[in-house]
């Protein structure tokens, strides 16, 4: 695989200021891609852009709530004005609220569904027209093992991630004639801000590890490596699929 096989490609990454999104951006940037990093918090975005610049990666930060239709339309205009195109879209922005379904408010339900699923729809609708006509395009949406299994307190989260699988299957068929692929990746337990409370609780942490044959948390660079492969020429025949990266959790 050529070291700079993404030279002149433009990658848009939501939730791109930290965790999975930041690691994915750095991996794509080191392969030559120009980065549009999208997040809600400017300070974290500025830090991510500065880190990319130190690595010789061209990157721009865009502050936006990607679950808001108006903000996504404005974001589309800004990205196209800055970079002129979109080749790769990483739908990584996500959230959760942990509580029993019957205790959820409608506002909490909508927050999870809109952030995890509706935002991906809005970003695809905005970015796909700028991918067409080039014979190449990649859409990668961050699902979860919770799209396949679930645990208590994760009803809306599981529903939103399962929805991403369905959206992706349809996109893969619609966009195949343009050479654009669409996949989801489904991580298991990774060492991120979202899992930090679990890792800090010995009882809950052990419950997680009991489900992972490899007996460890994943690191975000491993997920970034998977994304890099999917975006490479070698990954061009993978579409409509969900790729599990879970340390063996769902093999049990």
CA distance 102 to 153: 10
* Residue 126 phi, psi (nearest 5): -75, -35
Q: Catalytic residue, from 104, 157, 217, 229: name it.
A: 157
β-strand pairing of 59-63 with 242-245: unpaired
Is 157 marked active-site? yes
Q: Are the beta carbons of 116 and 160 closer than 8 angstroms?
A: yes
Q: Which residues are catalytic?
A: 157
């Amino acid at each position: 695989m050529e070291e700079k096989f993404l030279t002149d490609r433009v990658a848009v990454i939501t939730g791109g200021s930290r965790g999975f999104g930041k690691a994915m951006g750095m991996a794509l940037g080191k392969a030559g891609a120009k980065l549009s990093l999208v997040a809600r918090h400017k300070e974290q975005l500025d830090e991510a852009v500065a880190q990319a610049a130190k690595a010789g990666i061209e990157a721009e930060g865009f502050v936006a709530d990607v679950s808001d239709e108006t903000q996504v339309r404005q974001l589309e205009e800004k990205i196209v004005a800055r970079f002129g195109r979109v080749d790769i879209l990483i739908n990584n922005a996500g959230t959760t609220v942990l509580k029993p379904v019957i205790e959820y408010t409608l506002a909490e339900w909508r927050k999870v569904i809109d952030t995890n699923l509706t935002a991906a729809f809005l970003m695809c609708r905005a970015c796909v027209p700028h991918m067409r006509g080039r014979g190449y395009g990649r859409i990668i949406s961050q699902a979860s093992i919770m799209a396949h299994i679930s645990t208590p307190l994760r009803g809306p989260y599981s529903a939103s991630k399962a929805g991403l699988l369905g959206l992706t299957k349809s996109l893969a068929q619609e966009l195949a004639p343009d050479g654009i692929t669409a996949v989801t990746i489904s991580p298991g337990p990774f060492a991120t801000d979202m899992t930090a409370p679990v890792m800090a609780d010995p009882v809950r942490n052990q419950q997680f590890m009991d489900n992972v044959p490899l007996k460890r948390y994943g690191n975000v660079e491993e997920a970034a490596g998977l994304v890099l492969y999917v975006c490479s020429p070698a990954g061009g025949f993978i579409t409509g699929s969900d790729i599990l990266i879970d340390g063996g959790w769902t093999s049990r």
